[in-house]
Amino acid sequence: MAATVYIIRHAEAEGNIYRRCHGLYDSLLTPRAYQQLPCLAKRFENVPLAAVYASPLFRARATAQAVAAPHGLTVELRNDLHEIDMGDWEDLPWAELPHGWPDQYAKWCARPWEAAPPHGETVMQAGARMLNEVRRLAQENDGKAIAVVTHGSAIRGALTIAHGFPPEKMNEIGWGDNTCVARLDFADDGSIDVVYENDASHLPQELSTFACIGWKNAKGIPVSPQIWFRRADPNNPQDVDKIVEFMRELHRNAYGTDEGLDPAALLRDVERAQQVSPRSCTFGLLEDGTPAALVYLKTWYDEEPDVGLLGGFCISSEYRGCGLSAQILGQAISVYRSLGKTWLCAHVAEKNLRAQGFYHKFAFEQRGEHRDANGLHYRMFKRLTAE
């Protein structure tokens, strides 16, 4: 067996910027991902590929298609190329883990090669599974070059094994940016030469996910704050004050006044929404428990069965510009996707240019208008499912 395998990490996906645990969770790509993909495709346009394989998860399949299409190839799916199974941590904010599972998360940080989420697998188990499948693909393509699109944790574990490192040296590998490439040459005797790894030189700096989220380096963690979420209780006086405070600020930002806000009606609606999902109104909390944001979802809205309607996003003024906006959007998407919604909809005030900029940034599209006692609003939509 002698084959060259290019192992590619998928383009930027929701979990990467929403800062959520997405292993087997089948997330979508982000708007930036679709700017990254042409750069990746160009890198491979003159590389003779015999086949392109991918994990069955959407973020890998879509990335593989960008590599395969210029070569006239069809993407072939292989289940064992999937990402690490995150078990009970799937789709949770990373920042929630030290609060819900302090001992297991501490081990995950300190000894990641042997730590597994509850009912999940370790990075090394994921890497071994993925690399075994890559070996099989190399055998099937003896003497050829192929591309394999897979996932960050699985790649990290696989590279540790390919280098011949003991598991405890896994941190020597570091993390690769989205769309990064590793080249593995498989020899006839079964040995592997790691020619290079974690190479994202095809991406300009402005399209780097690491640069966007403030990643310190390939082995570090994002320097921007990360938040976790807890239910905002409309029967707890302290929570009530905080809910109303956030919504007053939201109204002032949207309309220049909070005169249109009826706190009693708001709290009735919050209770009604939380009967549908306890996560309908949540505070985004910093590490020390300080509420930095509010996510309110009108889950009681049933006029359009496939639409999840936003009630309001608000970030405390002192934490704006710190990278929290993607994380509060990720919370809303998580809730409405779990409720089976196809679309996320926001009614954005005509004169609220800041909010309009937020929704355009995250690829919402205007489809119609809505008028109520507060005036004219644009109806902004974002799809929650793959087309």
Q: What is the pLDDT of residues 356-384, one digit of tens each?
A: 999 999 999 999 999 999 999 999 999 99
The pLDDT score that the predictor gives to residue 29 is: 98
pTM higher than 0.85, yes or no? yes
Averaged pLDDT, 188-198 = 94
pLDDT at 337 over 80: yes
* Domain residue ranges of the chain, discontinuous segments joined by +: 3-213, 228-383
CATH class of the domain whose range is 228-383: alpha beta
The pLDDT score that the predictor gives to residue 28 is: 98
For the ranges 202-216, 224-238, 256-270, the lowest mean pLDDT is seen at: 202-216
Q: Taking CA 89 as the corner, what is the angle to CA 86 and CA 95, rounded to the nearest 5 degrees? A: 120
Helix (H) or strand (E) holding 275: helix 263-276
| Strands 181-186 and 3-9, bridge-based pairing | antiparallel
Averaged pLDDT, 332-360 = 96
Burial of 325 (0-12, 13-18, 19+ CB in 10 A): middle
Averaged pLDDT, 71-100 = 97
pLDDT at 216 over 60: no
Q: What is the pLDDT of residues 174-190, one digit of tens each?
A: 889 999 999 999 998 88
The pLDDT score that the predictor gives to residue 323 is: 83
> What CATH number has the domain spanning 3-213?
3.40.50.1240
pLDDT at 297 over 60: yes
- On whether the CB atoms of residues 284 and 295 are closer than 8 A, the answer is yes
Q: What is the DSSP string of 201-255?
A: TTS-GGG-HHHHHTB-STTS-B-S---EEEE--TTSHHHHHHHHHHHHHHHHHHH
Average pLDDT, the chain: 95
The percentage of residues in the chain with a pLDDT greater than 70, rounded to a whole number, is 97
Q: How far apart are CA 233 and CA 247, in angstroms?
A: 15
